[in-house]
Structure 1
Amino acid sequence: MASGAGAARRNNLSIGGEQAEADPLLMEAFYESDDYSTIADREDARCFLIARTGSGKSAVLQRLEEDNSERVVRIAPEDLSLNYITNLGVMRFLDDLEVSLDPLFIALWKHVLLVELIRHRYKVDSHTAKTNFLATLRDKIKRDPGKRAALDYLEEFQDRFWVEADERVREITEKFEEKINKEAKGTLSLTGNSTASASATVSGGSADTFSTETRRELSERFQRIVNETQMARLNKMLRVLDEDILESRQNFTFVVIDDLDRDWVDEKLANSLVRCLFRAVLDLQRVRNLKIIVALRTNIFENLDFGHRSGGQEEKFRSLALHMRWSPGELRELINDRLRVASSKRGVAVSSIGEVFPRTNATRGDAFDYMLQRTLMRPRDIIAFVNETFTATGGERVSWEDIKTAEDSYSHKRLLALRDEWKMSYPDIDRVFAVFSGSTIPMSQEEFTRRIDDAALLLADPYFRGSDWLDWMTAAMWNNSAGSWADWYGPLVTLLYNIGFIGCVTGRQASVRYVRTFPEYAERTSNLEATTGYTIHPTFQAALDIRVDGSRYGADIRRTP
């Protein structure tokens, strides 16, 4: 093949999309990591797949579905009317009264999971199919009175059993709303609140209009109604599921739930819904031939407030969590696999990244290692960077100049991606990133403090949309409260560290610590007090025009990506 032809084809080469749903190479060049093997292992109890965006959660679940096409039930949150639930007036009203909605939400999840498993197992898609299924099951359990009573739960759905899941969720929720409104009417009439009782509904009301005594009485009465939704017959059906529906290994089923990090109307109620899903999954682990896998972003998992409302089960939840992390060797193999498949499709045989990237030399080192250091060690990052270099190259091999050219575009896109990843929780966080533009790193504590002070001054800008979170994180600075530097600046520093934007320089050898390898570092005040300097993660340095002063690091700088 002529050199020019090879270069032209390589110039247009792509090793795949950054998102699983838009990745043409996902199945052909899938890298079977240890994390995938764990999730696919029917005997491994770990079922909560926790990772940051871009780490490959969705890819793992899609591959699992591909490898077990007849054994996977996928439940899409957008098909369950969850936004409808969290935006319902009665839910907001009960939340204002501090009524725990957990029993209702747990029951809803169990109901959805149970019915979807039955539909999958028996292909229930019509009245006839439902009738046949119930007859078969009733015959199997006819000698067990407890199980026969459990079937009454399914009978309640009559001809609506096979309708879409969102319709069943809405039906249960609407019946619950009717109970609450009926109870509210009677309770409010007893309190003498004629205006409220006449309305006969709490759906659009506010709990703030009631006296403390009325609030307490309403809360107690409504809590009893919520607690009744534990649904004893529903829990008995789980025994039927284990012993009579998924009774054999031949009926082993995976349930996959992804995309729980989509935009929600009410974040607080949404977190309750997700936490209750985890509770339901924990209860369903008693079903031997079932594995429910829930994928969730790290920041949402950490905000689920397990300790406060999980009934002392936080340790169980965390023991069942698999935190996805990639090693440099795994990412290299992933890129090599993709490069082999992508190049063969273009008629250019390339077996490894070393064949097309600059050769390792004593001055610049290994090109791929250089690129990895400018990622957050996620597949999405390195795929994007490699694709950028192929776009930039004009020769037979990628040059260092091509990599530097690609880095500018790549870094800007990664900074935007970091903003997008966190903007729901921290609106306008990109404006905090911008205050570090033009910095020389490593920054001393004094230099870094000046930048943090500039970030705090964003509160004076009426157009800044992050006032709520930034005010909370800088409250100690504004109040002149007693304490150390870490007490004043710690909350904002910890945030920037935990999302991967900054690193902490520490020790005589000026080692740089980043969240990937030291995830708990910024959580301890003593560590922040021992930090001698700060740096911006290499991923974002080009985008922010960061200047590196090597002499500031010392002779033995050790940078860990």
Structure 2
Amino acid sequence: MTHNKSRRRGANFNLGAEQAEADKRLLHSAFYESDDYLTISDKDDRRCFIIARTGSGKSAALQQLEEESPGHVVRVIPEDLSLQYITNLGIMRFLDGLEVSLDPLFIALWKHVLLVELIRHRYKVNTPAAKANFLATLRDKIRRDPGKKAALEYLEEFQDRFWVEADQRVREVTEKFEERINKEAKGKIALPGSADATLGATSGDTFSSEVRTELADRFQRIVNETQMARLNKMINVLDEDILDSRQNFTYVVIDDLDRDWVDDKLANALIRCLFRAVLDLQRVDNLKVIVALRTNIFEHLDFGHRSGGQEEKFRALALRMRWTATELEELISERIRVATSDFDVKLRSVYEILPRTNATRGDALEYMLQRTLMRPRDIIAFFNEALARSGRAEPLTWDEIRGAEEPYSRKRLLALRDEWKTSYPGIDRIFEVFEGVTLPMSADEFTRRLDDAITQTAGDPAFTGTEWVYELTAKMWTHAEGSWSDWYGPLVSLLYNIGFIGCKTGSRSEFRFFQDDPDFAERVRNLESITDVTIHPTFHMGLDTRVDYSRRS
């Protein structure tokens, strides 16, 4: 007897995991090649800093790149690099306290990690014999170029430790640096405690300002000399002798830099220095280092003078992942096609599972997209919520879509909290102030709600976000004559930039949201011109808001 493997769509039918990289089948079969993905995979497009909100598909894109380019992708995992070990070292905190710039050390560490990982990958260096063969091959290649001798000496220093895991190499470089700093200090300054005391066990505050200045100058010179000349020679060798043909083109992928793996201040420095190291590696023709970073972390990086005036270059090399309505429609259609491939009713378009457009309720897909922050994760979650309520082979009904909206909205509000709670702990307390509000709000109504949020959190010892709320509203307490944008602007900008609110600047204008106008809240004149504020439709039902359509005109 022949068994028909086709089956009808049932209650378990869905469009796969909201995190595409967690759904191997759909990622492989239904991956949508957006314009952003084509830019990421383009070997000649030098944009290499992938800046995106949570749920925008950056991790899925990088995983797809590995699928499409087997043997040509090196993935560097920050959590495997002992970065927390580095930033917790007493010597690092001591030098940071003296305001010694650790940037040269951190840049050297990143270059060291990337170079060694690329060499290990290119020559399969994982045993002493492989390392010896690699060095012999490379020595033969560069023997006619005396200028590259220093580069080879740099590699030979590692001897039998070359193939150990990256975290061990990072620790080794860091420990050598620590030894050099302590050696420099020994006999020149008196350390409190025993004769074996080290700088890492003390604090710069124990010294006078004159001694602090002298120490900072002395140690800064050591930091500045950290292997940079020989490392830069190695980059030339990488370009001309290791990745010397298109056949050896290699992508390096660095994701998950938004994990809580280091202290905030030093994490900022480490990421900023990674950007500078990547910038230097741009001169290697057959290499593309791709760094994926969440939008909020990128915007908070302290480029400024510490980046050597290179902020403009960083931004020019940044790709901000955004999705159009057409791309999201095509992404959902592709998922539907793959998800129904073994069903008796095969579907190819998103409109085959949506109610027809009508004059009363409009276009169902447009309705659903308006209740997203224009990210794949949002629209997939909305569809899955509606499909879970259906369980029939027929298209979804408007009642099923509306019934799914409330749980979907509540979950998206929680997701917004989770996305931003590391940078802004307790931010959900700000969201709660807008529960039950009638929309849209006039500027005055909105201001009263902000006042409630500020006063309620300021007086609550259990609130964990006192520091950032005070920082954003500092001028309210210190500038009695300040303007509205002085007092409320930073908090309004935050709520706008995370996608929570939209703003209107006159009766004839439309509400603007971050996904449509990312720079709106960065201009003071726009903030001063706000006449009405609304909550993004994604969160209406989650906050039990009511829309008064008579107010919208």
| Pairwise same-fold verdict (TM > 0.5) | yes
After superposition, give the CA deviation of every residue in 1:468-506 in whole Å (9 maximum; x if it has no partner): 000111222233521211111111111100111000022
Q: Distance in 1 between matches of 2:343 and 2:264?
A: 46
Q: Which residue of 2 aligns with 1:488?
A: 487
Q: Distance in 1 between matches of 2:231 and 2:79?
A: 24
Q: Which residue of 2 aligns with 1:283?
A: 280
Asked whether the equivalents of residues 10 and 390 of structure 1 are also in contact (C-alpha less than 8 Å), the reply is no
Q: Following TM superposition, by how much is the alpha carbon of 1:87 offset from its aligned partner in structure 2, in angstroms?
A: 1.6
Asked whether the equivalents of residues 105 and 224 of structure 2 are also in contact (C-alpha less than 8 Å), the reply is yes
Q: Which amino acid aligns with 1:300?
A: I
Q: TM-score, normalised by structure 1?
A: 0.95
Q: Distance in 1 between matches of 2:545 and 2:509?
A: 18
Q: Distance in 2 between matches of 1:346 and 1:264?
A: 44
Q: Which residue of 2 aligns with 1:449?
A: 447
Q: Which residue of 1 aligns with 2:108?
A: 107
Q: Which residue of 1 aligns with 2:216?
A: 219
| Counterparts of residues 19-38 of structure 1 (less than 5 Å) | 19-24=19-24, 25-38=26-39
Q: TM-score, normalised by structure 2?
A: 0.96
Name which of structure 1's ranges 224-233 and 194-203 shifts more when overlaid on structure 2. 194-203
Q: Distance in 2 between matches of 1:434 and 1:248?
A: 57
Task: Find the residue that maps to 1:195 and give its secondary structure.
Answer: coil
Q: Distance in 2 between matches of 1:185 and 1:20?
A: 54
Q: Following TM superposition, by how much is the alpha carbon of 1:508 offset from its aligned partner in structure 2, in angstroms?
A: 2.4
| Counterparts of residues 491-502 of structure 1 (less than 5 Å) | 491-502=490-501
Q: Which residue of 2 aligns with 1:323?
A: 320
Q: Following TM superposition, by how much is the alpha carbon of 1:376 offset from its aligned partner in structure 2, in angstroms?
A: 0.4
Q: Following TM superposition, by how much is the alpha carbon of 1:21 offset from its aligned partner in structure 2, in angstroms?
A: 3.1
Q: Distance in 2 between matches of 1:39 and 1:132?
A: 34
Q: Following TM superposition, by how much is the alpha carbon of 1:397 offset from its aligned partner in structure 2, in angstroms?
A: 2.1
Q: Which residue of 2 aligns with 1:268?
A: 265
Q: Which amino acid aligns with 1:236?
A: K
Name which of structure 1's ranges 502-511 and 358-367 shifts more when overlaid on structure 2. 502-511
Q: 1:299 aligns with which of 279, 296, 301?
A: 296
Q: Distance in 1 between matches of 2:71 and 2:33?
A: 20
Q: Which residue of 2 aligns with 1:421?
A: 419
Task: Find the residue that maps to 2:288 and give its secondary structure.
Answer: strand
Q: Which residue of 2 aligns with 1:437?
A: 435
Structure 2 unaligned segments of length 5 or more: list them: 1-5
Asked whether the equivalents of residues 192 and 202 of structure 2 are also in contact (C-alpha less than 8 Å), the reply is no
Question: Over aligned residues, Cα RMSD in angstroms?
Answer: 1.5
Name which of structure 1's ranges 397-406 and 6-15 shifts more when overlaid on structure 2. 6-15
Task: Find the residue that maps to 1:341 and give its secondary structure.
Answer: helix
Structure 1 unaligned segments of length 5 or more: list them: 1-5, 555-561
Q: Which residue of 1 aligns with 2:464?
A: 465
Q: Following TM superposition, by how much is the alpha carbon of 1:7 offset from its aligned partner in structure 2, in angstroms?
A: 11
Q: Following TM superposition, by how much is the alpha carbon of 1:235 offset from its aligned partner in structure 2, in angstroms?
A: 1.1
Q: Distance in 2 between matches of 1:550 and 1:8?
A: 42
Identical residues among aligned pairs (%) = 70
After superposition, give the CA deviation of every residue in 1:330-383 in whole Å (9 maximum; x if it has no partner): 000000000110011344311111111111001111111101001000001111
Q: Distance in 2 between matches of 1:537 and 1:432?
A: 15
Task: Find the residue that maps to 2:192 and give its secondary structure.
Answer: helix
Distance verdict in 2 for CA 1:8–1:403, change over 3 Å: farther
Task: Find the residue that maps to 1:286 and give its secondary structure.
Answer: coil
Q: Which residue of 1 aligns with 2:136?
A: 135
After superposition, give the CA deviation of every residue in 1:99-142 in whole Å (9 maximum; x if it has no partner): 10000000001011111111111110100010011011101111
Q: Which amino acid aligns with 1:382?
A: I
Asked whether the equivalents of residues 182 and 200 of structure 1 are also in contact (C-alpha less than 8 Å), the reply is no
| Counterparts of residues 368-387 of structure 1 (less than 5 Å) | 368-387=365-384
Q: Distance in 2 between matches of 1:328 and 1:196?
A: 66
Q: Distance in 2 between matches of 1:223 and 1:167?
A: 25
| Counterparts of residues 40-439 of structure 1 (less than 5 Å) | 40-189=41-190, 195=192, 198-395=195-392, 396-439=394-437
Q: How many residues in Structure 1 have an aligned counterpart in Structure 2?
A: 545
Q: Following TM superposition, by how much is the alpha carbon of 1:14 offset from its aligned partner in structure 2, in angstroms?
A: 1.4
Q: Following TM superposition, by how much is the alpha carbon of 1:534 offset from its aligned partner in structure 2, in angstroms?
A: 0.4
Distance verdict in 2 for CA 1:218–1:460, change over 3 Å: same
Q: Which amino acid aligns with 1:20?
A: A
Q: Following TM superposition, by how much is the alpha carbon of 1:32 offset from its aligned partner in structure 2, in angstroms?
A: 0.5
Q: Following TM superposition, by how much is the alpha carbon of 1:180 offset from its aligned partner in structure 2, in angstroms?
A: 1.6
Q: Which amino acid aligns with 1:439?
A: V
Task: Find the residue that maps to 2:292 and give its secondary structure.
Answer: strand
